[in-house]
Structure 1
């Protein structure tokens, strides 16, 4: 089994994309509207931010209540069910939140474009949902995100490996995302893998210019499990690649907090439960 990139401009792109999501939890798009030049520029500028002094980064220290700002590696996430922290640091960007002034315009531009595409892809999922699944949605998927302030853009930095990392630690332990859909441009280095239904790890195509989309737990919950939130991870590089940083730029498409996902959860209840499990609140 292999994940294939789907041409966003193809007549049957919607059908092929949702079929891939259904079968693997992931979809990979090429020829999509997100400009490579914009992504590359963000990678370069945020590499400079992460390479700056701790004092420079700490002035944007995250707010535990709002979850915006800089999260150092010392308080990085621990994947659900694991005990070892991921080898990463990251910055949480919301349009209403903190951000270095010189980086905000470019990042907001990307946030807007990625959010618009994410909304379109969520509509594709809605259109392709069988009737029995659509009946499970407490409201149309597209309306779950209208006017939402919780969609999160995370600028992720996986630093070069030093050789003194905790035994068993990897850049991102096996996990599932919390949200509806995650939109991710191919990172500047490979390493992303997805677990197939038979339990094997598959490399996700990392050709620069591809866009990688995966299902989050909230869509799985809302669809009664029809759309699976697939386990994925970022493995450590080998050889000379150990000295390279890796930056990625996932956009986590969230519903409004009050949205009812199922008879067990609102979106906010689900989010708070998962953040506690991750150890960040």
Structure 2
């Protein structure tokens, strides 16, 4: 399950497309994103989440950039409780503490460039029938997009007084085209398999998880499934903070995904469903 694909291998694009088709997920190794850079950002942002001044960067509700406190966390579609997390939405044009800006922007740029490359792989290696289903080439959907988002997530240690049935991230699908997720600082990520069972993604530093989002599922007429995943609560013996840093590659709002949706209309609908818009 999810055998790592060598980013530098000759059949990497074909293997990526097949894995995303079969499971909605793929794992890359030997990719250009540096785990040391990721770990440094985890340390820096962990400091941010400890400071009361984080509230100074509260979200701009219209732009959806900045800090989301635990009381603003998403409620996954179909869930009854908010997720147990806080997070920061980073865009190059948005808010960011000045001491974190340079390193965060450097990682954003590197991850965004890789995401664009992987999207081109998907476009090139997809079957002809799937390519014809795209309303426009995938590479054109992201040209001049200002919506690609780096989310820095902090899952605090459990306090013991959490609402019953609340977990760190309830079962959900991502909204965007594809997501790039480096190894988190602690385990907890699980993927729902086709047979309905949950599979724990191993915490393998240096590996990069790629997953399909709802927009690519919509644009491909369902060929690429947007797989359900979640982050479960830690055992009491392992009850520490968890940080993760997904990059969500987004199309421009005007892009036509299907006969039903533009990217902008779809994003707004999903944010309303999540209770954050």
Other-structure match for 1:72: 69
Matching residue of 1:122: 119
Which of 269, 273, 276 is the equivalent residue of 1:277? 273
Q: What CA distance in whole angstroms lies between the structure 2 residues aligned with 1:128 and 1:11?
A: 13
2:223 equivalent among 226, 243, 248: 226
Of the structure 1 ranges 11-20 and 251-260, higher mean CA displacement relative to structure 2 is found in: 11-20
Mapped partners of 1:15, 1:239: distance in 2: 42
Q: Following the alignment from structure 1 to structure 2, what is the Cα–Cα distance between the partners of residues 119 and 206?
A: 25
Whether the 8 Å CA contact 1:4–1:205 is kept in 2: the answer is no
Displacement of 1:248 in angstroms is 0.3
**SS of 2:139 mapped into structure 1:** helix
Of 80, 83, 86, 1:86 maps to 83
Query: Distance in 1 between the 2:127 and 2:15 partners?
Result: 15
Report the count of equivalent residues: 277
After TM superposition, list the pairs within 5 Å mapping 1:110-149 onto structure 2: 110-149=107-146
The aligned runs of 1:191-202 (5 Å cut-off) are 191-202=188-199
- The answer to whether the 8 Å contact 1:152/1:252 transfers is yes
Q: CA deviation at 1:239?
A: 2.9
Q: 1:60 aligns with which of 43, 46, 57?
A: 57
Q: CA deviation at 1:13?
A: 1.2
| Mapping for residues 1-281 of structure 1, pairs under 5 Å | 2-53=1-52, 56-242=53-239, 244-281=240-277
Q: Give the gaps of 5 or more residues in structure 1.
A: none
Cα drift, residue 66 of structure 1: 0.4
Shift of 1:205: 2.5
Partner Cα distance (2:43, 2:71) in 1: 24
| CA RMSD after TM alignment | 0.7
Return 5+ residue gaps in structure 2 as ranges: none
